[in-house]
Amino acid sequence: MATKTFILDTNVLIHDPKAFLSFEDNVVVIPMAVIEELDTLKKFTDERARSARAVSRNLNRLAGTGKFSEGINLENGGRLLIGLEKRLDLPYDFSNSKKDNLILSDALTRKKRGENVILITKDINLRIKSEVMGVTAMDYEKEKVKYESLYQGWKEITISGELIDKFYKNRSLETNVELQANEFVLMKDSSNPSKSAIGKFDKKSNMIMGLSYKEGMVWGLKPLNTEQKFAFELLLSDNIHLVTLIGVPGAGKTLLSLAAALHKTIDKKLYRRLLITKPVTPVGKDIGFLPGSKEEKVSQWMGSIYDNLEFLVDKNNPDDSTEEKVNYFFDSGKIEMEALAFLRGRSIPKQFIIIDDAQNLTPHEIKTIISRAGEGSKIVLTGDPYQIDNPYLDADSNGLTYLVERFKNQEIYGHLNFKKTERSMLAALAGELL
């Protein structure tokens, strides 16, 4: 098979700082325009800057093994080059000062020299321009997971009425159905579909077990549908340390997570505090771009969290002091809101951690955040992969989807994909029609 030349765009390396190791025994080229862009990005304090610095460190480790201008041999059999090509004159519609066009020029130069060139970029417009200029361009596929076929977290099966009766009697049922650890099961009677039961698969015993929390009230909330019963089971279980809740807007992902966290932190005192965080900006800017102190900056991005907290506090114990109670939880340190940028370097033991809007994180960022969890902590990630604001992520390539695929069937992990909204009929129609 002929050797291929893969040219990497900046956004690929930001997405995965070790991306240059993913192309087996081929030639990988990082154009000088990309190095310049990484040099500019590294000066900031946001997640892109940290990824840029990680790329630089990774390249520096290779610097002692050869010359980038001649090509450095990689462990996978490939070669890595820093490209410094003579720029071709692109059509007059292309600005010669844009980094994307400089990268495209590098690809064109190599193609005209006879190399089998493939430009790897997460920028859709650059892929379009490459195609127009006759250069093959592809997205970075290594960490992509097909969202349409993603693990759902629950399954419907048809069994006999006698087995359903046995399940209700014993609160457990042996099964030969292939299920993931902590996957939920909706069992329906084959002769009478209105007769049903719900349970959760226990991997150790290979049994479908009855739910523990399906009817309970948690901070004034009662599950409104089967999906919410499943969610509470995961959120309230002390044996499940990582939970992902994804799906349609208005399903209750954040509200249910907050209710469970307050119950476990305030009522049961199983965790020292509730820590809530989310990506500060969808386009990668750091919190420093916002006015005010750190607390004031964070509050501007946590408005929906405040609203949900006030709703829960008022519903659990309604009176006129709702705002005062919420402020007490913050002042006493029982609840903390933090920007993701400030979690790096921290070890976070014995805390209930909620990461909202996690669909805007890359797989690399997800790994960095989850590795912060200390002993006795529980992490809940919520999001909707169809509502991504990061320009270089989509439903298939975001970190939340990647996490679900990698962690399924782990005994300390549970997942649920919501399909039903409870916010309002209008919200349900908007999610379906718009």
Q: What are the C-alpha distances in Å from 273 to residues 156, 199, 239, 265, 408?
A: 37, 30, 18, 6, 27
Domain ranges of the chain: 5-138, 226-433
Retrieve residue 29's tokens: 């080229």
Beta-carbon neighbour count of residue 94 at 10 Å? 17
**pTM for the structure as a whole:** 0.84
Strands 207-210 and 196-202: antiparallel
Beta-carbon neighbour count of residue 238 at 10 Å? 10
pLDDT value at position 149? 94
With beta carbons less than 8 A apart as the criterion, state whether 413 and 240 touch.
yes
Element (H, E) at 142: none
Whether 5-138 shares its CATH topology with 226-433 is answered: yes
pLDDT in tens, the chain (434 residues): 579 999 999 999 999 999 999 998 899 999 999 999 999 999 887 788 889 999 999 999 999 899 998 999 999 899 999 988 667 767 777 877 788 999 999 999 999 999 999 999 999 999 999 999 999 999 998 888 999 999 999 999 999 999 999 999 999 999 999 999 999 999 999 999 899 999 999 999 999 999 998 667 899 999 999 999 999 999 999 999 999 999 999 899 999 999 999 999 999 999 999 999 988 654 344 445 555 555 555 666 677 888 899 999 888 777 778 888 888 999 999 999 887 766 766 778 999 999 999 999 999 889 888 988 889 999 999 999 999 988 889 999 999 999 999 999 999 999 999 999 887 666 666 666 66
Distance separating the N- and C-terminal Cα atoms of the chain: 46
CA 214 to chain centre: 27
pLDDT value at position 344? 67
Q: Which of 70, 417, 6 is nearest to 251 (CA)?
A: 417
pLDDT value at position 267? 94
Q: What are the C-alpha distances in Å from 163 to residues 141, 177, 184, 185, 208?
A: 44, 14, 17, 14, 12
Backbone angles phi and psi of 77, in degrees to 5: 95, -5
pLDDT value at position 154? 97
Q: Which of 215, 310, 283, 400 is nearest to 47 (CA)?
A: 283
Beta-strand runs (E) in 9-110: 27-31, 72-73, 79-83
Sheet holding 154-159, edge to edge: 154-159, 184-189, 196-202, 207-210, 172-174
With beta carbons less than 8 A apart as the criterion, state whether 271 and 352 touch.
yes
Sheet holding 117-120, edge to edge: 72-73, 79-83, 27-31, 5-8, 117-120, 136-138
Q: Which residues pair with residue 155 across a beta bridge?
A: 185
The rounded distance, in Å, linking the Cα atoms of 304 and 329 is 17
pLDDT value at position 4? 95
Q: Which residues pair with residue 5 across a beta bridge?
A: 27, 117
CATH number for region 226-433:
3.40.50.300
Retrieve residue 85's tokens: 């090509």
CATH superfamily label, 5-138: 5'-nuclease (3.40.50.1010)
DSSP state of 341: G
Alpha helix stretches (DSSP H) within 120-206: 124-132, 161-170
The rounded distance, in Å, linking the Cα atoms of 431 and 425 is 10
